[in-house]
């Protein structure tokens, strides 16, 4: 025992116990959450099954027929679109702050971007409903219909009557919300690029764009990936901001100018209205699907991140 204590002091053992306990608590919370969702959704599982529930777009509380396809579709579309909007803008802001911006502007712009992450989501929702939605309905969406809407196939995405309460507006609001997460992480990663590497490139005659493209971005790519994964998790689970501008219409449509629904919006809007056991169980079933979907998507993103890290270290 004395030899053991000499090799492992009491302070180290206490520290190891506390660290293990904290890790175990997190793991236990995940397992407990999954169990509660599974238990509460068991009634809907037995009635609808898995594949029938996932691929059915019908959501009718009166007939007690429920399907997750429309909510899943809205969740995936808004998440993918918001990332497509936010990633280039965020990386552009990060590059500007690290390599192009005058020193006097770096701090104010950086603080302004980070403050976007501190704004409550309900504020984004109210702003989207009362300010952005009318602008979308009166100016931006009609313009897109007159231009991109005339292109074969692509024009299918811009059909319908522009109302501002639709998938497109919800994706724009969501992209604004996740931009500070990608920007902050990408900026910190770009700032870690050694000055000697940039100075060597400039000495060899490289332009500023070539230094950013060939030196800084490859060096900081893992940090940029990490910021995108963080934003992906935020986009999948966002509720209030999307609820204001999405319309909560359970339908699958190609047009981005149509109202739709996401899993989180459905849960927020209808949980208090669930007056039957099967209705409530179906909502828990939706929550379980979102829980599993988030876990799978983030696990895949983490896998590619680790794969890129191993290739980078080699």
Render pLDDT for 138-151 as a digit per residue (tens, 0 to 9). Answer: 999 999 999 988 88
What is the tally of structural domains in the chain?
A: 1
Top mean-pLDDT range of 78-82, 212-216, 296-300: 78-82
Q: Helix, strand, or coil here: 3?
A: helix
Dist. CA 310–CA 292, nearest whole Å: 27
Q: Spell out where 190-260 has E strands.
A: none
Whether 9 is in a domain gets the answer no
pLDDT at residue 202 tops 60: yes
Positive or negative: CA dihedral 275, 281, 285, 291: positive
Range of the domain at 225: 15-313
- Cα 9 to Cα 15, 21, 208: the distances in Å are 10, 18, 53
What six digits make up the tokens of 291?
A: 């829980």
Q: Report residue 13's pLDDT band, with 50, 70 and 90 as the boundaries.
A: confident
Residue 178 is part of a domain; what is its CATH number? 1.10.3720.10
Whether 2 is in a domain gets the answer no
Dist. CA 193–CA 186, nearest whole Å: 11
pLDDT tens, 171-190?
999 999 999 999 999 998 89
Whether 10 is in a domain gets the answer no
Packing angle, helices 277-313 and 263-270, rounded to 10: 150
Q: What is the pLDDT of residue 106?
A: 86
Whether 3 is in a domain gets the answer no
Q: What is the pLDDT of residue 244?
A: 92
Whether 8 is in a domain gets the answer no
What six digits make up the tokens of 183?
A: 């920007």
pTM for the structure as a whole: 0.88
pLDDT at residue 305 tops 80: no
Q: Report residue 281's pLDDT band, with 50, 70 and 90 as the boundaries.
A: very high
Query: 76 with 88: CB under 8 angstroms?
Result: no
Q: Report residue 234's pLDDT band, with 50, 70 and 90 as the boundaries.
A: confident
User: 18 CB contacts (<8 Å, ≥6 apart)?
Assistant: none
Q: What is the pLDDT of residue 309?
A: 67
Whether 212 is in a domain gets the answer yes
Whether 62 is in a domain gets the answer yes
pLDDT at residue 263 tops 60: yes
pLDDT at residue 81 tops 90: yes
Positive or negative: CA dihedral 160, 166, 171, 177: positive
pLDDT at residue 1 tops 60: no
Dist. CA 283–CA 275, nearest whole Å: 12
Whether 80 is in a domain gets the answer yes
Q: What is the pLDDT of residue 90?
A: 94
pLDDT at residue 290 tops 80: yes
Q: What is the pLDDT of residue 192?
A: 87
């Amino acid at each position: 025992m004395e030899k053991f204590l000499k090799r492992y002091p009491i302070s180290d053992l206490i520290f190891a116990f506390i660290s293990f306990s904290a890790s175990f608590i997190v793991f236990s919370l995940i397992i407990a959450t999954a169990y509660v969702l599974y238990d509460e959704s068991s009634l809907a599982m037995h009635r609808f099954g898995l594949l029938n529930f996932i691929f059915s777009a019908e959501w009718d509380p009166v007939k007690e027929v429920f399907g997750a396809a429309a909510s899943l579709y809205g969740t995936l579309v808004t998440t993918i679109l918001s990332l497509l909007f936010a990633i280039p803008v965020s990386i552009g802001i990060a590059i500007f702050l690290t390599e192009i911006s005058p020193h006097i502007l770096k701090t104010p712009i950086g603080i302004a971007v980070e403050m976007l992450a501190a704004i409550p989501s309900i504020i984004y929702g109210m702003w989207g409903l009362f300010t952005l939605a009318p602008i979308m309905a009166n100016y931006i969406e009609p313009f897109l219909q007159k231009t991109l809407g005339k292109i074969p196939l692509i024009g299918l995405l811009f059909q319908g009557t522009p109302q501002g309460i639709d998938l497109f507006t919800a994706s724009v609001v969501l992209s604004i919300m996740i931009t500070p997460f990608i920007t902050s992480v990408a900026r910190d990663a770009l700032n870690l690029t050694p000055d000697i590497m940039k100075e060597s490139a400039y000495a060899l005659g490289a332009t500023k764009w070539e230094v950013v493209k060939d030196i800084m971005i490859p060096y900081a790519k893992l940090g940029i990936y990490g910021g995108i994964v963080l934003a992906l998790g935020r986009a999948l689970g966002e509720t209030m901001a999307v609820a204001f501008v999405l319309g909560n219409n359970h339908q699958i449509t190609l047009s981005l100018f149509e109202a739709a629904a996401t899993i989180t919006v459905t849960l927020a809007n209808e949980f208090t209205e669930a007056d039957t056991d099967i209705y409530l169980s179906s909502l828990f079933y939706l929550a379980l699907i979102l829980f599993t979907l988030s876990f799978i998507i983030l696990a895949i993103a983490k896998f590619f991140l680790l794969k890129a890290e191993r290739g980078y270290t080699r």
